[in-house]
Amino acid sequence: MDGQAIAPPAVVLLSGGLDSATVLAIAISEGYRPYALSFRYGQRHEVEIAAARKVATSMEVAGHVVMDIDLRAFGGSALTSDLAVPHHASVEELSPGIPVTYVPARNTIFLSFALAWAETLGASDIFIGVNAIDYSGYPDCRPEYLAAYEAMANLATKAGVEGRLSIRVHAPLAKLTKAQIITRGLALGVDYAVTHSCYDPGPDGRPCGGCDSCLLRQKGFAEAATEDPALSV
């Protein structure tokens, strides 16, 4: 023992995108020992998982699990079925309402696996990169949803019932704009060159530049007045 306290473990949901990479950096900056959790859920492209691995490695996580779950068995989203991902010329043209790229109950499923791992690790803290401003209208990104999830989670586990865990769901990006997220991440040393945001990348893995996620990313870097390093890789 060197006298240093061991950092408490935390489970961090990590998609390999800009937001979750920033969340991972925030968890580390707050003194947690991060365990990253990613999902292969019938995405069209492996590039998301490859990005998650690069982000996890670049931030020296304590562990990284990539869980396979085939949500294609249920269908119902452009991200997991044959529905087309919509493209737009600019961020002003994004459709109102909840987009077809919504995946039914996705964050609920992701948080539930995070809860399982948290209990196994003895971790009270789960980090998720949802965002209530530039969030494209997903219901499972709203603060009232996250509060209800936390209340449920604290009734769900053996460790909770036995008083050893009190689950907290951290959503540190909830009230930040994309530009604020980028500024925060850059201050924490996030290497955005290894992150990936596009819903519909080309065969070479390069972003399409026209999906909702690409447009929000472009707007964020423009407003943060900095270049997106992923575009010059």
Binding-site ranges for its own copies (CB under 8 A): 65, 67-71, 73-76, 98, 102-109, 111-113, 115-117, 119-120, 138-140, 142, 144-145, 148-149, 151-153, 155-158, 160-162
State the minimum distance, in angstroms, from the CB of residue 141 to its own copies: 10
State the minimum distance, in angstroms, from the CB of residue 68 to its own copies: 7
- Rounded to 5 degrees, φ, ψ at 36 are -90, 140
| 154 vs 226, beta carbon nearer its own copies | 154
State the minimum distance, in angstroms, from the CB of residue 22 to its own copies: 24
| 160 vs 209, beta carbon nearer its own copies | 160
Between helices 106-121 and 143-156, what is the axis angle to 10°? 40
State the minimum distance, in angstroms, from the CB of residue 13 to its own copies: 14
CB-CB contact of 124 with 168 (8 Å): yes
Q: Length of the chain in residues, anyone?
A: 233
Q: Which amino acid is it at 3?
A: G
| 25 vs 79, beta carbon nearer its own copies | 79
CB-CB contact of 48 with 16 (8 Å): yes
* Neighbour count for residue 107 (Cβ, 10 Å): 19
State the minimum distance, in angstroms, from the CB of residue 48 to its own copies: 18
**How many Å apart are CA 55 and CA 94, to the nearest integer?**
28
**How many Å apart are CA 162 and CA 154, to the nearest integer?**
11
| 105 vs 231, beta carbon nearer its own copies | 105
| 29 vs 108, beta carbon nearer its own copies | 108
| CA contacts within 13 A on the Cβ side of 179 | 6
